[in-house]
Amino acid sequence: MQRTKSKRSKIGRRDGVVCALVALCVFVLAGCAASGEKKIRSEVTPLYSARAPEFRQAMGSLLGPGFIPGNKIVTLVNGDQIFPAMLGAIRGARKSINFETYVYRDGVIGRELAMALAERARAGVKVHAILDAQGAFKVGSSNLATLRDAGVEVSIYHSMFWLDPRRYNNRTHRKLLIIDGKTAFIGGVGIADLWTGHAQDPKHWRDNHYRVTGPVVAQMQAIFMENWLKTNGTLLHGNDYFPPLGSTGSSLAQAFKGSPRNGGIDVEEMYLLAIASAQKSLLIENAYFLPNEMMRKALVHAAQRGVNVEVIVPGKHIDQKLVRYASRRHYPELVSGGVKLYEYESTMVHVKLMIVDGIFASVGSANLDNRSIRLNDEANLDVLDSRFAAEQTRLFEADKRRSRPMTLDSKGKLLLGAPFNQAAGLVSPQL
Active-site residues, by number, are: 173, 175, 180, 350, 352, 357
- Beta-strand relationship, 208-213 and 153-157: unpaired
**Under 8 Å between Cβ of 72 and 245:** no
Residue 243 CB contacts under 8 Å (≥ 6 apart), including other chains: 180, 181, 182
316 DSSP 8-state letter: T
Measure the CA dihedral 311/312/318/322, to 10°: 10
**Under 8 Å between Cβ of 76 and 187:** yes
Whole-angstrom CA distances from 50 to 12, 105, 190, 293, 355 are 49, 39, 30, 23, 10
**Under 8 Å between Cβ of 389 and 374:** no
Residue 24 CB contacts under 8 Å (≥ 6 apart), including other chains: none
DSSP string of 108-159? Answer: HHHHHHHHHHHHHHHTT-EEEEEEETTTTTTS-HHHHHHHHHHT-EEEEES-
CA–CA separation, 69 vs 256, rounded Å? 15
Residue 143 CB contacts under 8 Å (≥ 6 apart), including other chains: 104, 106, 110, 111, 114
Q: Among 391, 383, 399, which residue's Cα sits nearest to residue 186?
A: 383
**Under 8 Å between Cβ of 379 and 223:** yes
